[in-house]
């Protein structure tokens, strides 16, 4: 009885000789697609977080006394360069604040930094046509630290 079962298992092994290769050929493309999608989406998430950080740090720099919009844009661009971001647009805007009568209270009271990253220019794996025209946008608005009166000797 033992020899009979041994012969049957050898016959089965010969019939299934290429089954593993066929199974791998069927599963490998789907598995690799999932792996590469995970890598691309993780990179997109990093890019989104980096855009938020660049907008925040640009606004923080611009809100200080003596800072210029050009310096804030340069700082945001420096942060975006960490990930090799291409085609990013950084805008820093100072907004004045007005009272109820429409009179200017303080020049440059608010600092708004907007960072826009074109997704199609920054994909590695997915075709660029999938994200054609899509942009990641991050905006930060902070109150300026430009004091009027007390620190410049004009206090009453």
Strand residue runs (E) in 51-134:
89-98, 104-118
Q: How far apart are CA 30 and CA 8, in angstroms?
A: 34
Of the candidates 126, 118, 128, 105, the residue with the CA atom closest to the CA atom of residue 51: 118
Q: Is the pLDDT of residue 47 over 80?
A: yes
Helical packing angle, 19-62 and 69-80, nearest 10°: 160
In a 3-state reduction of DSSP, which class is residue 93?
strand
Q: What is the pLDDT of residues 82-120, one digit of tens each?
A: 888 888 999 988 877 666 665 556 655 788 999 999 888
pLDDT of residue 135: 87
**Domain parsing of the chain, residue ranges:** 2-143
| pLDDT of 9 | 58
């Amino acid at each position: 009885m033992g020899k009979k079962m041994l012969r049957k298992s050898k016959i089965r092994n010969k019939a299934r000789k290429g089954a593993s290769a066929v199974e791998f050929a069927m599963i490998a493309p789907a598995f690799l697609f999932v792996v590469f999608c995970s890598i691309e989406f993780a990179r997109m998430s990093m890019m989104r977080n980096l855009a938020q950080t660049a907008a925040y740090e640009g606004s923080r720099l611009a809100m200080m006394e003596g800072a210029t919009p050009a310096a804030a844009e340069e700082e945001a661009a420096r942060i975006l360069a960490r990930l090799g971001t291409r085609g990013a647009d950084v805008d820093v805007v100072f907004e004045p604040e007005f009272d109820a009568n429409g009179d200017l209270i303080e020049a440059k009271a608010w600092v708004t930094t907007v960072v826009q990253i074109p997704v199609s220019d920054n994909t590695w794996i997915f075709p660029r046509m999938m994200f054609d025209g899509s942009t990641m946008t991050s905006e930060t608005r902070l109150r300026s630290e430009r004091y009027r009166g007390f620190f410049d000797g004009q206090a009453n």
